[in-house]
């Protein structure tokens, strides 16, 4: 059972543009929603995370928008840069163990200069 669905699978954006990646989850017991960034040959690194008591969280150029009723959340990368080219994963976990993450399938982002 795929509990976290991510789209699109790949994304190409021009430098300076906005990158948007979407995720949908099924289990209403999830209460922690992080986004991870992964470069080739490296492990995933936490970008930003949100809990369902807020609808939006912003850190620098990265913003999470959260819609609890729709069970959806998205990552927005403003002013996208070539250095942002990487694979992005959304994830979710339950309160009992926030380290036991259910990941989406990933989105490969390419930012063209």
Partner 1 sequence: DTGVSQDPRHKITKRGQNVTFRCDPISEHNRLYWYRQTLGQGPEFLTYFQNEAQLEKSRLLSDRFSAERPKGSFSTLEIQRTEQGDSAMYLCASSRPGTDNSPLHFGNGTRLTVT
**Residue 69 Cβ, how far from partner 1 at the closest point, in Å?**
22
Should residue 89 be labelled a site residue for partner 1 when binding is judged by CB under 8 A? Answer: yes
**Residue 71 Cβ, how far from partner 1 at the closest point, in Å?**
18
The rounded distance, in Å, linking the Cα atoms of 30 and 91 is: 10
**Residue 64 Cβ, how far from partner 1 at the closest point, in Å?**
13
**DSSP for residue 88:** E
The rounded distance, in Å, linking the Cα atoms of 86 and 21 is: 13
The rounded distance, in Å, linking the Cα atoms of 107 and 84 is: 12
Q: 30, 64, 85, 106: which one contacts partner 1 (CB under 8 A)?
A: 106
Residues 6+ apart with CB under 8 A from 71: 24, 25, 26, 28
Segment 20 to 49, residues that bind partner 1, using CB under 8 A: 32, 34, 36, 41-46, 49
Should residue 84 be labelled a site residue for partner 1 when binding is judged by CB under 8 A? Answer: no
- Which residue, chain included where needed, has tokens 């795929």? 2
- Applying CB under 8 A, the span of 13-21, 62-70, 75-83, 103-111 interacting with partner 1 comes to 103-111
The rounded distance, in Å, linking the Cα atoms of 110 and 113 is: 10
Residues contributing to the site for partner 1 (CB under 8 A)? 4, 6, 32, 34, 36, 41-46, 49, 51, 89, 91, 97-106
């Amino acid at each position: 059972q795929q509990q976290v669905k991510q789209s699109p699978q790949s994304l190409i954006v021009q430098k300076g543009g906005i990158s948007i990646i979407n995720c949908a989850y099924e289990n209403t017991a999830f209460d922690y929603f992080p986004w991870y960034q992964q470069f080739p040959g490296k492990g995933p690194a936490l970008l930003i995370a949100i809990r369902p008591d807020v609808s939006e969280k912003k850190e620098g150029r990265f913003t999470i928008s959260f819609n609890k009723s729709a069970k959806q959340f998205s990552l927005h990368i403003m002013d996208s840069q070539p250095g942002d080219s990487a694979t992005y994963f959304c994830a979710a976990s339950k309160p009992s163990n926030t380290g036991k993450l259910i990941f989406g399938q990933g989105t490969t982002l390419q930012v063209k200069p």
